[in-house]
């Protein structure tokens, strides 16, 4: 019989809080800096931003002449990232943001948190090691909204896989919630996923690739999407 650990792993960005609409608006606020490299799509709604087909916003917006040239692409990515480090990552990113409906229904819901079946919820979130301000901002947001002793932050430094941190901490889990297909793929490739489930918000950029769908089923796991836009 399947044994439940009662442990849920949840990603933070675009699961507990939407940061890409803010990211997009920060780029627009500093438009003169980014204008040489990016296409101007004008003001967009959160729905339009979350429906984008490309996960990385800077890649989504990049002018085609840079996308088609490998060396130019690297160079431009570098310039844009240097700007974003100052304008976004090294700021108090989460300060003016609100929890998502998912966060409200699960991590801020006493009915869910009081259930004996739920032992622990780990917030498994990546942060850039060259912008520790972002990790500090994440901590403040978590302290402000997620107060249950069952909820714990598990930070993952950029360059490290989420599955590595889960293994290092010997965490048995039942459910993993994340918006990025690369993170789901990481778990499928590096963890025992038999009897485990993945839950994914339905955005424009994270359709399930056929091969990954096959691998999940082959390894005895399951996945589903929920409406998030």
Binder to Mg ion among 11, 18, 174, 186 (CB under 5 A)?
11
State whether residue 17 is helix, strand or coil: strand
Minimum distance, C-beta of residue 178 to Mg ion, in the bound complex (Å) = 6
Interface of this chain with Mg ion, residues 168 to 207, rule: CB under 5 A: 179
**Given the complex with Mg ion, which of 4 and 208 has the nearer CB atom?**
208
Q: In whole angstroms, how close is the CB of 126 to Mg ion at the nearest point?
A: 8
**One of 8, 13, 16, 137 touching Mg ion (CB under 5 A):** 13
Does 18 interact with Mg ion (rule: CB under 5 A)?
no
**Whole-angstrom distance, CA of residue 136 vs CA of residue 63:** 33
Stretch that binds Mg ion, among 11-19, 67-75, 188-196, 212-220 (CB under 5 A): 11-19
Of 145, 142, 150, the C-alpha closest to 120 is 150
Residues 6+ apart with CB under 8 A from 3: none
| Alpha helices (H) in 123-161, listed in sequence order | 132-145
State which residue, 13 or 58, has the beta carbon closest to Mg ion.
13
Coil, helix or strand for 73? helix
Nearer to Mg ion, 10 or 26 (CB): 10
Interface residue with Mg ion, options 7, 8, 9, 14 (CB under 5 A): 14
What is the CB-side half-sphere exposure of residue 91 using CA atoms within 13 A? 15
Give the count of residues interacting with Mg ion (CB under 5 A): 4
Subset of residues 54 to 83 that bind Mg ion, contact rule: CB under 5 A: none
Binding site for Mg ion (CB under 5 A): 11, 13-14, 179
């Amino acid at each position: 019989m399947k044994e439940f650990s009662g442990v849920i792993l949840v990603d933070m960005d675009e699961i507990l809080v939407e940061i890409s609409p803010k990211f997009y608006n920060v780029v627009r606020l500093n438009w003169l800096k980014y204008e040489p490299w990016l296409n101007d799509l004008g003001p967009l709604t959160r729905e339009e931003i979350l429906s984008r087909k490309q996960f990385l916003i800077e890649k989504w917006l990049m002018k085609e002449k840079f996308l088609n040239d490998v060396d130019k692409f690297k160079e431009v990515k570098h310039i844009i990232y240097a700007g974003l480090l100052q304008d976004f990552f090294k700021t108090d990113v989460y300060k003016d943001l609100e929890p998502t409906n998912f966060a409200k229904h699960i991590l801020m819901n006493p009915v869910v948190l009081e259930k004996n079946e739920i032992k622990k919820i780990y917030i498994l979130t990546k942060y850039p090691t060259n912008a520790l301000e972002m990790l500090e901002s994440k901590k403040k947001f978590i302290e402000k909204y997620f107060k249950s002793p069952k909820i714990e932050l598990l930070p993952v430094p950029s360059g490290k896989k989420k599955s590595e941190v889960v293994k290092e901490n010997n965490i048995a889990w039942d459910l993993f919630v994340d918006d990025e297909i690369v993170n789901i793929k990481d778990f499928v490739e590096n963890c025992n996923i038999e009897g485990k489930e993945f839950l994914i918000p339905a955005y424009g950029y994270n359709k399930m690739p056929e091969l990954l769908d096959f691998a999940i089923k082959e390894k005895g796991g399951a996945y589903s999407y929920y409406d998030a836009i």
